[in-house]
Amino acid sequence: MDNLAIARVLAEIGDLLEIKNENPFKIRAYRTASETVAHHPEGLAAMSPADRLALPGVGKDLAARIAELIDTGTAAYHQELLQEFPPTILDLLHLPGVGPKTVALLYHQLGVRTLDDLESAAREGRLRALKGMGAKKEALILRSLEDRTQVAGRRLSAEAHDTAAALVGWLREHAEGAAVAPVGSLRRGCETCGDIDILAAGAPRSLMDAFTSYRLVERVIAHGETKSSVRVWGGFQADLRLVPASSTGAALQYFTGSKAHNIALRDRAISRGLKLNEYGLFRIDTGDLVAGETEEGIYEALGLPFIPPELRENRGELAAAEAGALPALIQLQDLRGDLHMHTTASDGRADAWTMARSARDAGLEYVAITDHSRALAMANGLDEHRALEHARHVRSLNGREHLDGMTLLAGIECDILPDGRLDLADDCLAGLDFVIASVHSTLQQDEAQMTDRLLRAIACPWVDAIAHPTGRLILRREPSRANMERVFEAAAAHGVAIEINSQTDRLDVDDILARRARDRGVALLVDSDAHSPAALGNIRWGITTARRGWLQAGDVLNTRPLEAFRASLRRNRH
């Protein structure tokens, strides 16, 4: 049993308990444990019972259930609960706007057991009479019921990542010697994905059954010989395609996409008398196979070097490849510093020492501690006095034992007020090692206001960088209306760095803006904006964004050794 499968059972127990209106502490205990297990980096099945018991939120009872799951594949308690309710009742919970309390009401008062039952009840107007329901909510539920037959919407790729990895792991176990890999938008590192695409080359037919019977599968949408689709826990659709081993490379290339890249590549093939599809690259005149076993072979036969998946968007990669001018893309290992993170001084969950120590363990050599400034009162932002006090504390940690060569810079994430003034006085900002400025309020300003606001902040001599410059939240909030061309122009002129923020729902600036900024002569930073030690790892998503933006290590300031990094900061250049 992998971690996600365990997490699913624990979460279902929590849901069933809530439908039963059980003790809220017990319900929360199952949910917390489910979260912990789902995100734990090690497989629980391989851990000792003592180590499992030491996990946060896993007490004796839960540890026993987990052990039972690992040993027998089921948990008696889970099965008992499922005896009390029809298992189909859990489908109701996946509808937007339907929580466990509503499900309990529906079941107890109207005898609703399935989505079809619910649909009839809604159509007949029987829902609105329930407590806390009303005609508006009834209409909403009806709409979600209609949407459910359509494809699920887009999701953050970071959210799909663990599920995809678990699926690939499961499939590899069931197809020794086969090549199993994620393809599609996930392989290209896109910020969102429509579904999880997996390719298996040279696997036995039986792999399809292993796929559709995977523990996380909630519904089989299509089951075929070479392609199947399922809906997995968490709301993702996953597609598996089987191809013969001889087409491994061709299929990897084809199903990785993007469509636009594939079309451009196919045109190139045609112009050379070749035909490209998911089975291989063939000569049009004789039908002979030219390449297909490896992806490199396909590109080579088309006169091109291998093109990294992140670049395959038909944004000039074929011309660059042809000219031998593909960038040597930045890698996670190139990073030496992380210049944006929070501690318990504002809204972070760990102290500066713990954050620095964790960053050191992850291989970094320097960090800037950048807690919020006072305008963010909800986050317990620092005023001038607290900021300087905090800076003294942060600096005092340098050279302490166990820091092992890690250097802390005393910084701040200073709010840019609606009129473009900074939240803290100049002499305070001047007394710090690093200032990253950002907008957190009044994001709906018009283009002129928002642009002027950022330009004014960039003109302040103590601003070294701008954090999450557009303020967008992926799938939730549009970027601000600022004219980013003018912002980049000013940033380049003043030597202010532009951040790629790695929070998985920000990735701000995005790939396209990052590339444009670099082309305008702006230096970039890739930062975690972590609020906990675990979130430091999100920086890998920022690196993926940087790679999709064609960035090389030299374009990103925090790949430089500490002294070179410090010398490149705007405050140290005049």
Measured in degrees and rounded to the nearest 5, phi and psi for residue 170 equal -60, -45
Least Å distance between CB 183 and Ca ion? 8
Task: Provide the minimum distance between the beta carbon of 273 and Zn ion in the complex, in angstroms, as a whole number.
Answer: 55
The binder of 499, among Ca ion, Zn ion, ligand DGT, none, by C-beta within 5 to 8 A per type, is: none
For ligand DGT, which is the closer residue by CB, 235 or 431? 235
Non-local CB neighbours of 259 within 8 Å, separated by 6+ positions: none
Q: Which residues bind ligand DGT (CB under 6 A)?
A: 184-185, 190, 193-195, 197, 254-255, 257-259, 262-263
Q: At its nearest, how many Å lie between ligand DGT and the CB of residue 194?
A: 3
Q: In the bound complex, what is the minimum distance in angstroms from residue 475's beta carbon to Zn ion?
A: 20
The upper half-sphere exposure of residue 19, i.e. CA atoms within 13 Å in the direction of its Cβ, equals 27
Structure tokens at 430: 């001047």
Locate the DSSP E strands across 377-480: 407-415, 434-438, 465-466
Cβ-based neighbours of 552, under 8 Å, separated by 6 or more? 327, 328, 329, 330
The entry of Zn ion, Ca ion, ligand DGT, none near residue 262 (CB within 5 to 8 angstroms by kind) is ligand DGT
Give the amino acid at 380. N
Residue with smaller CB distance to ligand DGT, 54 or 220: 220
- The residue (of 164 and 330) whose beta carbon lies closer to ligand DGT is 164
What per-residue string of b and e applies to 539-557 under the rule 16 or more CB within 10 Å gives b?
bbbbbbbbbbbbbbbebbb
Closest residue by beta carbon to ligand DGT: 257
Q: Which does 258 bind (CB under 5 to 8 A by kind): Zn ion, ligand DGT, Ca ion, none?
A: ligand DGT
Nearer to ligand DGT, 189 or 469 (CB): 189
CB of 116 to Ca ion, least distance (A): 27
The three-state secondary structure class of 496 is coil
Q: How many CA atoms lie within 13 A of 119 on its CB side?
A: 11
**158 vs 168: CA distance, rounded Å:** 16
If one asks whether residue 15 binds Zn ion (CB under 5 A), the answer comes out as no
With residue 89 as reference, give the H or E element that holds it: helix 89-93
From Zn ion, Ca ion, ligand DGT, none, interface partner of 255 (C-beta below 5 to 8 A by class): ligand DGT
Nearer of residues 239 and 415 to Ca ion, judged by Cβ: 239
User: Taking Cα atoms as reference points, which of 360, 362, 457, 365 lies closest to residue 416?
Assistant: 457
Candidates 159-167, 185-193, 413-421, 551-559; binding stretch for Zn ion (CB under 5 A): 413-421
Of these partners, Ca ion, Zn ion, ligand DGT, none, which one is at the site of residue 259 (CB under 5 to 8 Å by kind)?
Answer: ligand DGT
Please compute, for residue 438, the number of CA atoms within 13 A of its CA located in the half-sphere on the CB side: 24
Q: Is residue 413 at the binding interface for Zn ion, with CB under 5 A as the rule?
A: yes
- Shortest separation between residue 440's beta carbon and Ca ion, angstroms: 33
- Residue number, 185 or 407, with CB nearest to Ca ion: 185
Report the residue number, 312 or 440, with the smaller CB distance to ligand DGT.
Answer: 312
191 binds, among ligand DGT, Ca ion, Zn ion, none (CB under 5 to 8 A by kind): none
- CA 214 – CA 195 distance, rounded (Å): 17
Exactly one of 238, 529, 530, 555 binds Zn ion (CB under 5 A); that residue is 529
Contacts 24+ apart (CB under 8 A), 162-166: 162/4, 162/38, 162/39, 163/4, 163/196, 163/216, 163/232, 163/233, 163/234, 163/236, 163/238, 164/196, 164/198, 164/238, 166/2, 166/3, 166/4, 166/5, 166/216
When the beta carbons of 252 and 530 are compared against Zn ion, the nearer one is 530
**Minimum distance between the CB of residue 232 and ligand DGT, rounded to whole angstroms?**
15
Query: What minimum distance in Å lies between the beta carbon of 483 and Zn ion?
Result: 23
Q: How far is the CB of 308 from ligand DGT (least distance, A)?
A: 15
What is the nearest approach in angstroms of ligand DGT to the Cβ of residue 242? 15
**Which of these, 311, 425, 323, lies nearest to 374 by C-alpha position?**
425
Q: Write the CB contacts of 295 (distance below 8 Å, at least 6 apart in sequence).
A: 249, 252, 253, 306
Interface with Ca ion (CB under 5 A): 184-185, 195, 197, 239
- Rounded Cα distance between 221 and 231, Å, is 7
Q: Which lies closer to Ca ion via its Cβ, residue 195 or residue 464?
A: 195
For residues 15 and 26, the answer to whether their CB atoms sit within 8 Å is no
Give which of Zn ion, ligand DGT, Ca ion, none residue 501 binds (C-beta under 5 to 8 Å, depending on kind). Answer: none
Q: 195 vs 413, which CB is nearer to ligand DGT?
A: 195
Q: Which residues bind Zn ion (CB under 5 A)?
A: 413, 529
